[in-house]
Structure 1
Amino acid sequence: MIAIFQKHIGKTLISISLMGVFSLIILRKCNPPPQDINLAEITFTKEGTASIFNANGKLLKVISIEIAETPAETQVGLMYREHMEPLQGMLFIFNQEEPRYFYMKNTIIPLDIIYLDKDLKVVSFHQNTTPMDESSLPSEVPAQYVLEINAGLMEKWGIKKGSYISFSRD
């Protein structure tokens, strides 16, 4: 009787484990993009160039940027994208400096989120964010711009508070 019970428990545990894996797959499928977003059209579109400097003015990196400034562009950001090249990023432009709150909902790739003040100086950041996490990632102080790059690049390139960017549109 105990052997039969143990065999049944073993099958049950395997079934529960498989259900967990399938649940994660289904969760992603059940959290699709809004109907007005065509995933086939979500590719990086270079709209400008950003130069990133340390606090002393030394050029750290030059990257291609996509610009998000309309409410729709800002809301979607880098959601649903499966890849971004290392020398690419998204620059969010807002009308005024105020506390900002970003999250990783529907964002598949891990990011470094960099908050910049009205003068484009780094004032706070979140490194190595967790994909698909809906936790709030607030700026520590008011920000007017936000730069998103692939996770780990802030540290690799030496970006810190006090670093700054300049950008131009194509």
Structure 2
Amino acid sequence: MHARILPLLTIALLSGAPLQADEAEVRDCAPDRIMIVGSDGMERASYKVSLADTPETREKGLMFVEELPREEGMLFLFDTVGEVGFWMKNTLIPLDMLFITPEGRVATLYEGAIPHDETTIWSGHPVSAVLEVNAGEVARAGIRPGDWALSPRLGTGCMPAAGG
């Protein structure tokens, strides 16, 4: 874990405050990265993400994608906080979903969403973002509800840029 993140995370966890990166740290962040960090401060996983931040990109999501590299995912950003539902219509690959609160906490997880399944998968909590990754990633990385999602796109901290 990068030395600049651990003190920030430790202070935020001890104070109970949401993670907020300072301006200098945000400038060093890679905007296309997200890191999942456990409540113990240890990095669980890091992904390069494509953004779904407009109605059109959120609607399309990962539809028709035939392969997703293990270290990549899609980050859905919503304009308002609320309970959200996803389905797998026209999605060709199985996925895990991380439902993320405005404070950057993983609220709920859904593992192994089935390709083409039109059953709605609900967040179960008000969220502002969802991270989709390959099925099996949640178990492989040991991701759990309560973990932190760090990304400048979420305003919750960040993954340092390469060499930063």
TM class, shorter-length: 0.7 to 0.9
Amino acid in structure 2 at the alignment position of 1:49: R
Asked if residue 150 in structure 1 is aligned to residue 148 in structure 2, the reply is no
Aligned with 1:98 (options 61, 82, 86) = 82
Q: Which residue of 2 aligns with 1:120?
A: 104
Q: Which residue of 2 aligns with 1:66?
A: 50
Q: Cα deviations across residues 132-152 of structure 1 (Å, max 9, x unaligned)?
A: 000000011111100000000
Q: Decide which structure has the larger Cα Rg and report it.
A: 1
Asked if residue 163 in structure 1 is aligned to residue 155 in structure 2, the reply is no
What's the C-alpha RMSD, in Å, of the aligned pairs? 1.6
Distance 1:119 1:96 in 2: 13
Structure 2: gaps (5+ residues): 1-29, 154-160
Structure having greater relative contact order (Cα 8 Å, sep ≥ 6): 2
Q: Larger helix proportion, structure 1 or 2?
A: 1
Relative to the length of structure 2, the TM-score reads 0.73
Q: Cα deviations across residues 56-100 of structure 1 (Å, max 9, x unaligned)?
A: 221112210001100000000000000000000000011121000
Aligned length: 125
| Pairs within 5 Å for 1:48-87 | 48-87=32-71
Does structure 2 conserve the Cα–Cα contact (< 8 Å) formed by 1:90 and 1:149?
yes
Amino acid in structure 2 at the alignment position of 1:125: L
Q: Taking every aligned residue pair, what percent have the same amino acid on both sides? A: 31
Relative to the length of structure 1, the TM-score reads 0.70
Q: Tell me the CA shift for residue 47 of structure 1.
A: 6.3
Q: Tell me the CA shift for residue 125 of structure 1.
A: 1.6
Q: Which residue of 1 aligns with 2:23?
A: none
- Partner of 1:74, secondary structure, is helix
Q: Which residue of 1 aligns with 2:18?
A: none
